[in-house]
Amino acid sequence: MAPKPITSPVPDTCYPTLAVSMLAIGLLFTAYFFVYEATSSRRNRSLAKELTTGAVASFFLGFGSLFLLLASGVYV
């Protein structure tokens, strides 16, 4: 079996686009999270909703910032 070259799982030309879009989605979720924290009163706040919003926001922010690092040449 001839050696097979290994490439990145995501083509590196996509990094800037991915970084911008995922960071945008992540920031929207973050904004929603903080608006919810600030407006809902202590009694009718639901922990599950807070945690899911936070998890979704951190997923998008995490991958977005990874692609931002890769796009700017910091290969982690």
Partner 1 sequence: MGFWWRFNLLVFTIAILSTPVLSDLILSKVDRRIDLTSQIVRITSTLKVENAGSGLVSEVLLAFPELQAKNLVYLMATTNEGKGKTKSSGVSLPVEVANPKGMPPALTVYSVSLPKALGEGDTMSLDVLAVFTHTLKPFPEKITQADIQLVLFQDSAYYLSPYAVKFQSLSIKLPDARIESYTKIENTKIHGSEIKYGPYENLPPFSYSPLVVHFEINQPFAVAQELVREIEVSHWGNVQVTEHCNIVHEGAKSEGEFSRLEYQARPHIRGSSAIRHFVAKLPPRAHSIYYRDEIGNISTSHLWADSKKTELLIEPRYPMFGGWRTAFIIGYSLPLQDFLFESEGKRFLNISFASPINDLVIDNLVVKVVLPEGSRDLSVSTPFPVKQRQESKISHLDVVGRPVIVLEKADVVPEHNQYFQIHYSFNKLSMLREPFMLISGFFFLFVACIVYVHVDLSISKSSASYLAKLQWDEVRATIQQVESIINQCLATHEKIEASLRDLSRIGDVQACKTTRKTADGLLKEHSKELKPLLAFLQSSPAAANILPKVEELVAKERELQERWMAKHSIIVDCYEKKLGGREIENRVAPQQQKVVALRQEVEDLLEYIDEI
Cα separation of 62 and 74, whole Å?
15
3-state secondary structure of 64: helix
Which residue in this structure is represented by tokens 């992540």?
26
3-state secondary structure of 74: coil
Cα separation of 60 and 66, whole Å?
10
Binding mask 15-44 for partner 1 (x = CB under 8 A): -----------x------xx--x---xxxx
Least spacing, CB of residue 28 vs partner 1, in Å: 14
- 7 contacts partner 1 (rule: CB under 8 A): yes
Binding mask 44-63 for partner 1 (x = CB under 8 A): xx-x--xx-xxx-xxx-xxx
Residues that bind partner 1 (CB under 8 A): 1-10, 12, 26, 33-34, 37, 41-45, 47, 50-51, 53-55, 57-59, 61-63, 65-66, 69-70, 73-76
